[in-house]
Amino acid sequence: MRNCSRTISMLLSRMLERTPSELGYRMPAEWERHEATWLSWPRREGISFPDSFDPVMPALRAMVAALIDCPSGSNCERLCINVCNGAHEAEAMEVLRGLDHSRITFHRIPTNEPWCRDHGPIFLTRKKQPRLAIVDWDYNGWGGKYPPWDLDEVVPTRVGEILDVPVFYPHMILEGGSIDVNGAGTLLTSESCLLNKNRNPTLSREQIEQRLRDYLGVREILWLGDGIEGDDTDGHIDDLTRFVGERRVVTVVEEKRDNPNYHALQENLARLRATKIAGQSLKVFELPMPRRIVRDNLVLPASYANFYIANNCVLLPTFADPMDEPVRERLQKLFPDRKVIGIDCTELIWGLGTLHCLTQQQPGV
């Protein structure tokens, strides 16, 4: 048994000397089948929801309820929730009282804040064993803005230990919300975030692109420009543009010319319309921006692009806005095999993120 364990360790060690791309790994598209969705439950003493912790709990409960709702014969997925300790788990259980817990598993992985999209594991898959792997990107609290982040920084490795899968280390700062992939070799990101000097000041654009190719198994990288007003992440792609097919994207646009978002979003739209993937043009679907939300003199980054694609549904953030239902109907046409569910995020957005920011998918293998 000892020799067998030593052999496995040696094989894993040799494997980790090569990049995921060399080993045949890729990051799947979000609409591909999930084994699970991961969340990091918020802490009352955290900084994400100042004076508003209890008001955001209904949105968390609604999100969990939608994710674990699994009609007979449908493609169910599990829900994995990171908590700090038993008291934290009990607090989450109280919020989720009355829901079916049979597909919920709590893991003792402490976090600083709840934004699992950014600090959580980026999962990769391939056809041969081990089929699942994790990339543990470095993390610095969105450019050093919100210390401490010591617990968040090690979450991917902790998940890798629990799942007993290989973990790769690119030694580059990257949040999961800053990238989106089509699962077929193309990645979307933004210059305002990924090229920001508060992330990787010693890496050039070309070096960053090479790490994306090496560690996510992509070939083409599509760059957009600036993010939306109020986005403290410096322009995460999941507030701007999302793949909804291999050659289809939705992108947010602002119709009012005097709105601060107008020119940046028009520039992004123009780039997308000029883009080709494998020689074929992207099909671009526009989503309107909700009305500007200001709270305590702070502009909040409300965006319909921050939806989450689960196995059986698409969770859409809504903002008590006249465009909530038209956007839901538009997305429903793009996802005919999933139910698009609007979840009121008027309180949740006070944390400067919504549903996609809270979730991280574990692909099926």
Known catalytic residues?
A: 357
Instruction: Find how far residue 282's CA is from the centre of its chain.
Output: 22
Rounded to the nearest 5 degrees, what angle is found at the Cα of 348, between the Cα atoms of 67 and 149? 90
Vertex 238 angle, CA 233 and 243, to 5°: 155
∠ Cα 299 48 288 (to 5°): 40
What CA–CA distance (Å, rounded) separates 90 from 48? 20
Distance CA 67, CA 251 (A): 24
Angle made by CA atoms 193, 235, 109, in degrees to the nearest 5? 80
- Nearest Cα to Cα of residue 311 among 103, 98, 43: 103
- d(CA 274, CA 267) in angstroms, rounded, equals 11
Q: Are 166 and 16 in contact (CB under 8 A)?
A: yes
Q: Which helix or strand (DSSP H or E) is residue 252 part of?
A: strand 248-253
